[in-house]
Chain A
Amino acid sequence: MSPTSAPQAIDAVGPGEADQRVPLVRITGLTKTLTGQETARTVLAGVDLTLHRGDSVAVLGRSGSGKSTLLSLIGLFDRPDGGEYLLDGQDVTRVPERRAAALRSAAFGFVFQRFFLLKHLTAVQNVSMALVNGQGWLPRRKRRAKAMAALELMGIAHLAGHRPPRLSGGEQQRVAIARALVREPRVLLADEPTGALDTETGNLVIEALRSATDRGCGLILVTHDHDHAAKMNRVTHLVDGVLT
């Protein structure tokens, strides 16, 4: 696959059909320097990471070590300063914003510590909003069916008509995971998804995320919880800008 092929080409290669030997994510020597008001700080100083289909990786590290920065680079929110990033064999290190948006839509699902649900939309609308992003078009009924299926997967289909203020934290986070899964992403990126939840609810959420990898999805989980990290295939530590 050439680096210049259209995002649709990636879309077309679904999880099972692709060459299993090509990793979903292959990062080598990734660097990122963030510039604040005055000080420039090298947050990532050569990160290497490989993620395969159905694989799950936990990223541990103390606060401020650059875990969220790393996720924002993998999720194509931002571009690295150096190194190389291959997504499904495609070089996306310096992908322009227009194509990055298409790739975010086609390849990634995001879950955040704060759930980022839209207060004025119901649970099912919050899920289907990921399908209304200007990247392709699905008729209303299909959108709803997909969103309901994702809620079903999270075991909260009965809450479809509720708005976020009426949902518990765990329920809200599961709506957010349903939103991340509704486009059937190849890579699931979760940034401290249990940070705002109690242990028991947190375990439920981690279980929900893990179950996605059973369907061939790759998972990168940023967490402070060693128990949750232990449930992943691999555990890595981000220390001094390097992943070990």
Chain B
Amino acid sequence: MTLSGRLRSSLIIGGQGIRARKLRTFLSMLSLFLGVLAVVAVQAGSVIAQRALLSDLEMTMGRDGTLQLYPPGDDGASAIVLDAVADRTDAVAMTRARAIVGEPGLRPVNEGGGPIDGGLGYGPQPMGPGGEAMACDAQGNCAPAGQERVVPTGQAIELQLLAVSGDIRQFRPFRLESGRFLDFDSAPSLAPRIVLNKHAAEAFTQFHVPAEMRIEGATANTTPRVIGVVDDGGWSPAAYVRTDELVNWMPVDFLTDPTQGGSVELLAAPSADDLERVLRARLAANGMNPDELHVQTIQALKEMESQLALMRWIFLGMAVLVLLIGVAGILNVGLATVGERVEEFALRRAVGTPRLLLAGIVLAETLLTGLLTAVAAIGAGVVGLEGASRLLASREPFLADVAFPWQAGVAGVIAGVAAGVLGGLVPAIRAARIPIATVMRA
């Protein structure tokens, strides 16, 4: 009575059982297959949603752990900041300024730098006498917007110009949509190279804007060279430019003049903890209050935590529901099968099969069914995700390199095993309790 003898007997009896009921086995597998596939989909969905949320958040806020430093508004503070990060690779200074790109002397279509929606921005819009929206043509003649939208050509677009002292993507992982990002290794060019965000790029394809850039406070207008487009997670048009190229046209202090809407912000790696000390010392040495340097650490994940927790609960609830459906399916088929198999079990016990072994066989059959089904469903999930990712990658970049989330695989296997155990346990117990004599008397 060796264990291997028992095990082999179980395999044979179980195999005979499955082969004798191919259709039933298939049907019970089908319900579980769909259930596990749904768990896989739900898990994958939760991981992808989390990734999407985090990727957007990282682009707009910055990676977790990144230090944000805001210098005081005093004259000269910005120069100190820019000087302090000049030779550093672990910190980037970003100054904001307003810029208008378009024909000279025209109001931008989105005055105020708001998002471009349709033809008009959310900023102050030219209004007709009755308060209706106005559309303006290239000559600046404005008329109420009619039924058909008048697309003004030759307009100007206002955008936020972000001058960066180094590669900001180490802190905010912008997605490159086309072209390339600014490169900080070459010598600064006299014509500023700019990288547009996708909203600015859309605006430029929508309106035929001559590429002359007016920057408030600049000493001269300049012709920018657009070298790339990125998705920076923002909602309004923006352009990125190297600080050392921009300062050819405007003094640093004007660029960072708070009264002109300019501001400077430092992004630093978590390892750059000396930067704060250095800055405070230099500010103090220049007669400024070092306490006015504000520092904060980005915690994107923590910000998301409550959102994610809710999402996870919803997904978990769905997964459990789906799992129950799969279990119900396999339980239903298992019970119906035991009813049919009462005679077989009685006969097998009559020829000496221990009832614990029989119970084990029923359990093993459903467990095997569950596991095989789970594996099949996971395979289908992997293939499906791969296909969907390839199809949708062009529209949703964060789907581009979505590997099959291993959590989904684990959930699938657990679902299969749980459904197998639960669905097999009741039939197994029933099978063990069948009295032989009763059946044989029938």
Contact = CB atoms under 8 A, between A and B. Distances in A.
B347 A133 contact: no
Given A104-B350, A104-B351, A118-B344, A136 B1 contact: yes
Contact of A134 (B346, B347, B357, B441): B357
A136 B354 contact: no
Nearest to B357: A134
A133 to B, nearest CB: 4
Identify whether the interface residues of B are mostly helix, strand, loop, or mixed.
Answer: helix
A136 B9 CA distance: 9
A72 B352 contact: no
Given A97-B355, A101-B349, A118-B344, A191 B440 contact: yes
B187 interface: no
A205 B440 CA distance: 19
A78 interface: yes
A179 B352 contact: no
Contact of B16 (A68, A112, A121): A121
Given A102-B1, A120-B16, A133 B440 contact: no
B350 A77 contact: yes
Interface residues of B, number: 33
Interface string B114-156: 0000000000000000000000000000000000000000000
Interface residues of A, number: 34
B351 A129 contact: yes
B9 A133 contact: yes
Nearest to A136: B5
B394 interface: no
Most buried by A among B1, B6, B13, B346: B1
Contacts of B1: 102, 134-136
B12 interface: yes
A132 B346 CA distance: 14
A72 B4 CA distance: 30
A223 interface: no
B348 A129 contact: yes
A134 B440 contact: no
Nearest to B436: A77
Contacts of A191: 440
A72 B437 contact: yes
B353 interface: yes
Contacts of A72: 436-437, 440-441
Given A77-B437, A137-B2, A132 B344 contact: no
A69 to B, nearest CB: 7
A56 B88 CA distance: 104
A72 to B, nearest CB: 4
A137 B9 CA distance: 8
B12 A132 contact: yes
15 contacts: A68-B440, A68-B441, A75-B350, A77-B350, A102-B354, A104-B350, A104-B352, A105-B352, A105-B353, A116-B347, A118-B347, A129-B16, A134-B357, A135-B1, A136-B1
Interface of B: 1-2, 4-6, 8-10, 12-13, 16, 19-20, 343-344, 346-357, 435-437, 440-442
The 9 closest A-B pairs by CB, nearest first: A105-B352, A137-B5, A120-B20, A72-B437, A133-B353, A77-B436, A104-B352, A134-B9, A130-B351
